[in-house]
Structure 1
Amino acid sequence: MWRRYRQELGPEHDFEDPLGPPLLWPDGRHVAANGRGRIFLWDLATGACSRVLQSSAICRDGDPSFRLACEPVLGRVLEAHKLRDFAVWDSVEWRRIQTFAGHGEPVQAATFVTDDRILSISGDSTAQLWDAWTGERLRMLDTPPLYALAKKPASGHVAVCGSGGAVIVLDGPTLDVRASFHLPMVAARHGPLSEERKRQVGIVWNRPSNTLQALAWHPDGEHLICGAWDFVPRMFHSGTGRVVREWHGHSHWVDAVAVEPSRGLLVTGSSDGTVRVWSLHSTECLAVHDVGHANVEGLLLHDGAIYVTCQGELLVIPLPAE
């Protein structure tokens, strides 16, 4: 059975914030998503929106573009700051620890690569490395415009991706390039986009492109999986870019990917209004969930469920039974 978690803004608000991708909060008891200068926390046990935190983010065009990230050992959270910067917050006291200024466009994502270093990416065509405590910029790397990153588990490597099919694998603590390549655009095989979804998507409903918008590491640590605006998520080698698997079926941009390694599942979210569950080891589609709107912002897999932000809602969808 699906569950729907609503925002709690108080009686003075008669509208809901659009939400960014969901995040498991450092305390492990809440799931969070950022809105317009706010972060909403839902209790995993009850589904109640138990806390609303004020942030310093300013959202261009009203929608949050920064993907929340955390470092659970010290309970630190990364969130956008003003329009083009980002900040580290203490998740318990909700106190801003440090801010980071230097990007020329809004920061899309950031991650702790060590306890004291942070890597950030932006559409300004740079990746930047920072001292987590002082806010000093340590290094800047020229890149294509970047929109997603994925930190390799138990490793200092971070993969980033963006426009033109660009993928770069970096040594996170130094920003040294380990691999760099461009994935070719794919001719997608899919059914027609419904008239309602065309209306929701707008004038870009028939415009595939070679932009990579989402990224995750395969459990083998050698391959990556991307979500792309050519409608086709695919798996490729992190050192060579050789594509080894494609999952066809989405009829618009794939903006979110997540991997469930213990069960060998891939979950993808698309502006065609669906969340799809696939076998990680084949091209089989195991489930298709229509979430009711094209605005699918992100996915989180936790405790046998898919947490999906769509419009102003957090939806909880059970994974297929084993």
Structure 2
Amino acid sequence: MKLVSIKSLANAHGDGVWAVAWAAATGDRPAVLLTGSADESVKVWKGDELDLERTNSGNSLGVVAVAASPDGRVAACTSLDSVVRIFDVDSNSTLATLESKPAEAWQMQFHPKGELLAVAGGGSGCVNIWKASSGSRETSLKAESVDKVGGGKFVLSVAWSPDGKLLACSSMDGTIAVFDVARGKMLHTLDGHSMPVRCLAFSPVEPRYLFTACDDKHVHMYDAEGRSLVSAMSGHASWVLSVAGSPDGAALASASSDRTVRLWDLKTRSCVQSLTEHKDQVWGVAFRPGRLATVADDRSICLYDYA
């Protein structure tokens, strides 16, 4: 496995680029890339050329997360104004505006079937689940403290398992809560980190395996069903801000404030490549078949061939 640089775009946004996601190909177009920035905009790019298709400027503060539905037609973004906007990828039209105030809205992900959107609720200590088509809130799942002393959770990130049976959320205190959404029940927590876990990603091919990005400089691999830590992968020199699994399930990419992106072989659980194209902390990594995109505070987007 290897990443080969095929395109780098400087000054893609007017400020740091904080979020990245792929919108899958449809019958009308190939896959496109979505990026969100501190400049309050979401941009849509042609997937291989990084030519700008359109700009969505409906946010009032910096965009902290973007996500696309599995069919690639609908996307969502969260911003520091505590608003979640759901919009049509191809027309830019807003389909729903979700007010999460007074709590925040942080990382988010669409359900594998696309009908639900899970959003990390920050200081509310909850994951809010919305119906994407109507913008109605379906439920809120509370990340309860288990064998912990102190106040409530601050929820930063969420991830659905590929089969949609489990939902995980991470917190500032380093714990990860795992929910059975159908039953509305928290099953257990996963421990091993003691600092903020900023990103979660399930393996695309092994529903039980969950990967984490943490301020403790480590990437963890958990068995989310068996409640066990499978591996702790180290090598970054600073906070790990984002993780994403390759579509073939063989590799993991991680982004860090040390300005690097690392590619991990999941069979050996070792780093096989370190990328240094970015000149500031790297906020996001996102795979689609054959490609990896990365974004950073240096305002740039990097695109790699993955083989």
Give the alignment's TM-score, normalised by structure 2: 0.74
| Identical amino acids, percent of aligned pairs | 18
Q: Structure 1's 135 and 278: CA in aligned 2 closer, same or farther, altered over 3 A?
A: closer
Q: Name which of 128, 147, 152 aligns with 1:168.
A: 128
Query: Distance in 2 between the 1:69 and 1:209 partners?
Result: 33
Is 1:306 aligned to 2:265, yes or no? Answer: no
Q: CA deviation at 1:181?
A: 3.8
Whether the 8 Å contact between 1:78 and 1:86 is mirrored in structure 2 is yes
Q: Which residue of 1 aligns with 2:22?
A: 69
Query: Distance in 1 between the 2:77 and 2:8 partners?
Result: 25
Q: CA deviation at 1:298?
A: 0.9
Q: Which residue of 2 aligns with 1:78?
A: 34
Q: Which residue of 2 aligns with 1:193?
A: none
Mapping for residues 184-195 of structure 1, pairs under 5 Å: 184-185=144-145
Q: CA deviation at 1:281?
A: 2.0
Q: Structure 1's 208 and 97: CA in aligned 2 closer, same or farther, altered over 3 A?
A: farther
Q: Name which of 81, 87, 112 aligns with 1:153.
A: 112
- Computing the radius of gyration from Cα coordinates, the structure with the larger value is 1
Whether the 8 Å contact between 1:111 and 1:119 is mirrored in structure 2 is yes
| Structure number with higher relative contact order (C-alpha < 8 Å, ≥ 6 residues apart) | 2
Query: Distance in 2 between the 1:56 and 1:248 partners?
Result: 38
Q: CA deviation at 1:217?
A: 0.8
Q: CA deviation at 1:299?
A: 0.9
Q: Which runs of 5+ in 2 are unaligned?
A: 270-307
Query: Distance in 2 between the 1:188 and 1:67 partners?
Result: 33
Q: Secondary structure at the match of 2:42?
A: strand
Q: Which residue of 2 aligns with 1:99?
A: 55
Is 1:315 aligned to 2:262, yes or no? Answer: yes
Q: Which residue of 1 aligns with 2:209?
A: 265
Q: CA deviation at 1:133?
A: 3.2
Q: Which runs of 5+ in 1 are unaligned?
A: 1-43, 190-206
Q: Kindly provide the amino acid, as one letter, of the partner of residue 240 in structure 2.
A: V
Q: Which residue of 1 aligns with 2:292?
A: none
Q: Structure 1's 115 and 266: CA in aligned 2 closer, same or farther, altered over 3 A?
A: closer
CA RMSD, 1 decimal: 2.7
Instruction: Note the alpha carbon deviations across 1:59-97, whole angstroms, 9 max, x for none.
Output: 3xxx53223333244221101257011111112332222
Aligned length: 258
Q: Which residue of 2 aligns with 1:201?
A: none
Instruction: Note the alpha carbon deviations across 1:213-265, whole angstroms, 9 max, x for none.
Output: 22111244232111211210120133565210211111211112221242732
Judging by fraction of residues, say which structure has more strand: 2
